Structures are given as C-alpha cells and as structure tokens.
Structure 1
C-alpha cells in the first residue's frame, strides 16, 4: 500500500474551518495559522492510507524541536476515561517529561507505530547511546470505517510522518490518524486550533491538536445538533468505538504538574461539544511545554494564580479544534458499508440562523 503524505491544507474551494464560518470560540486571538504549529518549535506531519473500501487509516506526528532522550521536555497527562492504549503513560506521569515526538494512529497499529518510533530515534545522533526509551503513542479506534485487524501501518508510514513534519498550516479532517475517525454522528478526524494568551505581563502561545472519534450529540452555542438536523444520513451507528486524543503544546514556562492541570482541562472541554464519555471511550489529554526548565538559565515557572487565561485558552481551542475536525472531513464508506458524512457548513449555518462573520 503506497505512502500518501498529507494533502494540502484546505483552500478556498474546500470545506472551511469553524472560524471562517463565524463559529470561532471565545474572545482570545489565534496564532497566524490557528493551529498547534503556531507554538514555536512544534511541527506536524501526516501519512494517510486510503485503499477503499477496506482501509482508511494513517498516522500523525507531533514533533517538538529538540526533544530527545537526553533533552526531555516537561509534560503532563490526564485520562478522563482510560479505555485506551496511550503508550508511554506511566513513565510520562511519573517523571513529568516526554522524550520523543507524540504519534497518533489506529488502535491495533499503536504497537507497530511505537516500535517504528523507537527505531527512528535509535538511528539518530541523539539516540546513539540510548538503552532505554519511552515512546509516546496514542490511538483511537477506526474499526467502523477501516479494516482495523489488517494493521495497515508500517514503519515507512511512521517515518514519512516524522520526516515530513513541518510548521505552518496543518491539514485537518480525514487525514493521517484522523482518516477513519468519526465523532458525534459525523465523519471527523484531525482538528487543530491555537490561542494567543496574555500571561504575566507578556504573551504565551497555546495550541491543540485533536484526534476526534467519540460518541455523544453535537452541541454548538448551547444547541444540540443531530445529523438529521443538517440533512445528513445518520446510518447504522455501529459498535461503540469512541475516543479522543488531545495534544496541547505551549511555550509558557510551565512545570509538569501545571501541564497536567492543563491536560485535565483539555478533556473537560469535550463536554462543551457534547461528548458522551462512554464506557468504551479513551479520552486522553497530553500537554507539553516547549521550554526546558531544568537548566539554571531556564525561565521561572508561571505562578499557579495566573494560570486561568491558559485554562480558558485550552477550553476554547479544544472546542474549536473539534468543530474543525467535523467541518473539514470528507465522506468515507468503510468495508462493512458504514458511511459517515462531515458536518455540512451551509445547513449548519442555516440552522443556527447565521453566516460567516455574523
């Protein structure tokens, strides 16, 4: 199966993002791309595998510059409902540090992806003397729209996502690890958003990336919206496979405990869009800081009493990222005939009684 790098980011003739439709969340400004890559030093890469109707899968890499086994970054993790396979969780929680890029993929491919990530690190100069490594790999279940048992992700796909990771706009929707994902009755996938956060007399950047694949009923501006409300066939619901992986990055000088608090709120944000938090859902938040705080010359950690703007920023950014994942996705039919449709912009705006800029 060929390796397919991520497609170009959505353009004028492709599905638009929430903010372009007048559905931006909150009052804080976004970064230039309204993406996790607005945080300095964060790059994203996708490999998308499509072989219809059997395979709709992929891998997404979030790559912080300079991260490695000898140069870990502060990080925290939170499980809202832990029915998932977030590899590397225990060491991350114990040490409050991350030493590899974060990779996202399909449930049964997570173990192959982790092995490929280890191999990639060991071959690099910073891995020359490594005898222990904690790869961090998250997953959601794409079994409704892809042959998950075939475990289609190979080492070449992982390396392609890592090596093509770049700053700038991030492709969303049915790409990379989001290719076979569904959420809230619609086709979903990858979504991202960012915020410029006033903090202690200066400004910090915060960005999130979601792999949305969870059950519930969509809620926008306090209104519940079913597929039928916007003219989308609901289809057979299929088995419950709901989950969501949320990766948050910030250049604010936070320690691991504070990043864990941030990760916790990223999972809380899913309630805003109607997440069901079901028995079979793996709802995980992982937050990392791009500043190493272990050196004597490192910046002072932000006091807890001024963290509220960051907490608000992550709530708003996650909500908008989920909407982006629904609006930018494409229709997909899986091997068992299940079809999921993206959230259509025009009927949605008509239902809400507004339009772009309103």
Structure 2
C-alpha cells in the first residue's frame, strides 16, 4: 500500500540556527540562504505554531506517515553490562534495533515522507554505510527512486544491501566528489537531497533531523520521567546531536536545565573548534580509518550549538580503542559497529576525569549494528 504522508498543520516554517530568520516550509538544502551568502552557513530548525512545539511526552514532527514494518523508534534503554560499565550507571540506548539496524531510520522516515509529499521522484545521499541503506529502504517503501553516492572503499555488505534495495550506486574516490555530484543532481527539481552536500558543511535535511527528537522523549519515558546527567553521541556532522538537543528543549522547555550532550569524534575535531583553535568551517585532518561512520574532517554549526546549548562536551576515541571495546560487547552478546561503542568509552573516560556527574544515569547512544569489517 502506498504511503500517504500528512503534513503537520502546526508546522509554521523553519528558522535559522544562527540568525533566527523564519523561512517558509520548503527545502533549504544549504540551510539559511542569507547565512550561506554571508559565508557563515547554518542549518534550519522546524518551528511549530503557537503553543505547539512538542511536549514533555510527545515530539513534534513535520509528517505523520505509516511505514508499516519500517516504523522507527521505541528502541530499548538497557543497563550496560557491569563488566563494561565499571561501576557507573550507564544505560545503553539501542538504536541498532531500528528496522534497518541504525539510528538513521528516524531521519530517513521524515526525509522520505517530505520527498513523497512534496512530489519529488528521487532521493539522493552521500553515504557508504547506514544512512544509504536506511534511505534506500524507506525510498523503496515510498515508491521513490534512490541514488547513493558511495566511496570506492565501501564495505561489500553495504553495497550488496543497497543494490538489493534497488538503489542506484555511484562510485566516487573522495567525499568532496560525492558532494559535488549531489550539488549538480539537485538542479533537477524532482531530486531531493537527504544528506549534506554543502561545503562548508551544513547538515542533513531539517525535516529528517526532526525525527531524532524522539530519542530524547523515549529516554525520558524509559527513565520514568527523569533525564540523565549526560547523553553521549557518536558524532560527525551533528544531525542526531542537534535532533536530540531539540527534543530535550521540548521536554525541559526553552531555557530549562538539560542533560549535557557529549559529541564523540574519532579524533579531536569538535573539541578544537569549541576551544577556538579552528573555525566551524574548518576541515580538520585526523585518522578515522577504523571509524568511517563518524569520519570526515568537517563538522557544523548545528553541532557546536547543540553542545553549547546543553553545556556539553566534545571528546574523541581512537579506532583501536573502539575495536577493543567492540570485542568486549561482542563477548556480552551485543554485536555492534565500532563507531557505536565510542559513546560508552567516552562516558567512562569523562566520569573518571570528573567531567560528568555520576550521581545520575548516563546514556550512551549505540548507533548501529555490527557488520563484517566495521
């Protein structure tokens, strides 16, 4: 049965994260037009009508849409195995339980709903991993074509799954080449870009990012109305980090006390920007060979804003350390990708350094299931 997305009547438009200008409901692939022109790009955030910004128990989202068995969310929050938690109260948010095996389903559902409702015929993304597989699955469910710009070094299992889902895969040597291809492709008015292609980077579709807000609401419900001291998130360009921050703001109210968000990178990328060593637009080099899901040298204004809005932190975990932790989780019966477990490592390290409170639960986002090679 074809999906029939329904636009929320409360959606008023999208406001710039930097200048707060309100733009009408539409697709702004490079974020705020005026901030883009000024050389200080920033993504947009959905705004809802007076008195409807989401509540403590329900996230406001742009579209309601029944994807059947592909419906994302309601993933478990479980205690971290004691052998790994090291005496801390760490809870694991099991995003690998989403239909295609990663948190990306929350974003894909809203992005594809938007593309379908707005009359696009094709959705595209630059991804050699979870985002591409997720988008392809939801596009197929919606009856839309899907094109994924992949790396020549893509894991075989990802490419095979993309092709089985009917996605057209286009191979590029570098990430910048993939973004250039997307930039040219969206000149076709029937093509919807679900992931970033702007440089400096802006982030993914603001429709899609709204889907991540439910993570915050689910954590609150699963902790019986409480919020954790901190939430650690494997991090690249901040889509999920920003979405969780929006959800927390709905729960606590704008200006309320929020859990500290921890952006966990494969090398000190966000931390250097927060400390003023580099501007937000900088491309920072570092080793992410073992952590490709959170690799790349760019971050975004939405990342920095989310961390600062929650008085959060940025830290980094190496691929070698992540691999050792992945094997520890595997011995406990949890098969996870390396990039997922960096959240747990970060919380352990920050707690040992006294940088996060330990008198309340700490939540680690486990973003994706294990696959051969990752």
Same fold at TM > 0.5: no
Please indicate the TM-score interval, normalised by the length of the shorter structure: under 0.3
Q: TM-score, normalised by structure 2?
A: 0.27
Highest RCO, 1 vs 2 (Cα 8 Å, sep ≥ 6): 1
Q: TM-score, normalised by structure 1?
A: 0.27
**Structure with more strand by fraction:** 1
